[in-house]
Amino acid sequence: MDSVSVSNRAEKNTVTTVIYRVGFCVLFALLIAAGAWIRIPLPWTPVPLTLQTFFVLLGAALGGPGLGAGAALLYTVMGAAGLPFFAGGASGFGVLIGPTGGYIMGFIAAALAVGSILSKPAKVGPLKLCGTLFLGSLIIYACGILILSVFFPGGKPVQLMLMGVLPFLPGDLLKIFAAGIIYRALSKKLKSLI
């Protein structure tokens, strides 16, 4: 084999990897946006039930910290730029500085954490996987509650938990379980592409 064919193969692999990574970020940004359209409003809180966290956590688990956070960041930027990507088709920078903005920013932080933990070479067993995905949910909650407290300054911690965490726990446990199953099925196949 000559050096030209080795160089061509390496260049082709690099291009394929870049296309895969960009495609992964775009795909998961669009999936997070689609998850925002599946929305159940709750009368006692400005925060609706959505499927966004499912796609944030799955993207981070499968793509690692760079691709997972990249997808969440791309989603955030596209929604802030005016695409109807936020819950209920909302868009614009105002959503990010509104009562639900902390959750959206939490998507990026959660993706970094989940992706970092699960990209370590150690074996990922079911407990580590579910625990890591739950940690991601806790990060999203923490960021969400922080901003939500700005809009409800007299709110007691219990009230904020009732508005911004407790109604979402049962659904998030189901999302974590589903994301874990999909991760187990796809992780080895996708890791070979990166």
Percent of the chain exceeding pLDDT 90 equals: 80
Greater pLDDT, 123 or 83: 83
Confidence (pTM) = 0.90
pLDDT digits (tens, 9 = 90+) for 128-158: 999 999 999 999 999 999 999 999 888 788 9
pLDDT digits (tens, 9 = 90+) for 71-114: 999 999 999 999 999 999 999 999 999 999 999 999 999 999 99
Which three-class secondary structure string do you get for 127-166?
A: HHHHHHHHHHHHHHHHHHHHHHHHHCCCCCHHHHHHHHCH
**Mean pLDDT on 39-51:** 93
Residue 160 has pLDDT above 60, yes or no: yes
Boundaries of domain holding 140: 3-191
Alpha-carbon span 182 to 101, nearest angstrom:
28
**Mean pLDDT on 176-182:** 96
Domain with residue 11: its CATH number is 1.10.1760.20
**Mean pLDDT on 27-54:** 95
What is the predicted pLDDT for the residue at 14? 85
- Number of folded domains that form the chain: 1
